[in-house]
Structure 1
Amino acid sequence: MKAAENAGNTEIDAYLAAVRREASALPPERGQELLADLAEHIEVALAERPDALDEVLRELGDPRTIAATALAESGVGAGAGAGAGPGAGNPVAPPAKQGFRDKVPALLPVLLIALSLPLGFAVLPLGTIGRLAGLVLLWVATCWRIRDKAIATFLAFVTTLGINVAVYYIDPPNPTVVDVISAVQIVLALLAAGWLWATRRR
């Protein structure tokens, strides 16, 4: 069992090393983000399919292709990776087309999550629509890792939903309890918004 795990780790390390080598022209911070994203994807995929390492790596794609895409997105020539240089004959990849997910600005879901509750106290439908829109845009956007999205979702939505269910359906609250609950929910939403703003990818 350990031998199989070690072999798998070696194969993953070799794959990530190949990506690092091909994408060596990336800015250091972007290069680290790329490798971290790939490692996270592999980890999540293997948690669901422990014996499908080769298939997971094939689905990710060739390290050169991944590096070329990352270099193009960063405005760096695709041929600027390992082994490339002036006169190397490597073409510059055209800028990658951005999809809808890439165009979602980080500020939009952050503002929706932070302001939906206060808006809801003034006009209930606005608060509900704002929270749902913020949640959808949060998970659609590519500005955050899955872990950061999950933390913000838990803070801004899961906890407040649990509080509402516990209070309104188990123990009918008095006005003082309602005020305290409202304040706690606003604080949690602001914490979630702050977390997202701090962890966004620039």
Structure 2
Amino acid sequence: MSNALTHPLVRAYLASVDREAAVLSDDRRRDLVADLREHIESVLPQDADDATVQQALDQLGTPREIAAAAIAEEPGVNALQPESDARTNRTLGMMVLGAPFFWVLGIGLVVAVLAAVRIWRSTAWTRRDKRLGILCAFSPLLVTPAVAAPFAIAGGLGVAALIGTFLIAVVIPLAGAIRLGRTAARLHPHAA
């Protein structure tokens, strides 16, 4: 016998609701998913076939509709809205391109500040994603000295070590930009 909650369609549905409701607080989102789990478990029989499961899920509504209803009930919480690809790409480009220039006349710092402002004002990311993006944009401030220090202690900071340090400092903003890019892409209808 199989529990209805272990059915792949149910797991995918609940994961989608959790993603769509990302702007809600962690507690509220967990409560929403727990309520859905409880309801699904009560309406689906053990060993339900795919058609029965899909019919039960269709009656609940789409994950986006469920999340939108929950978001609408929360004061001060707005649903994520897609931005234009060009705006998102410019913001993420600034986040990545600022890293190699952090120590060149402060250019990187200015670019990181601009990227941080754009990230924070964006409607495409949750607060958690925004904090992560801003942290990644400013990570060269901490990463470069932290990586350079062991090289300097071990025997000097040569050209190869300096280049390696800067490459490592670029990886974190790049990884953060990839994550934010994927998150923003999920908001577009064509990205599924």
For normalisation by structure 1, the TM-score amounts to 0.46
Return the structure number with greater relative CO, CA threshold 8 A, min gap 6. 2
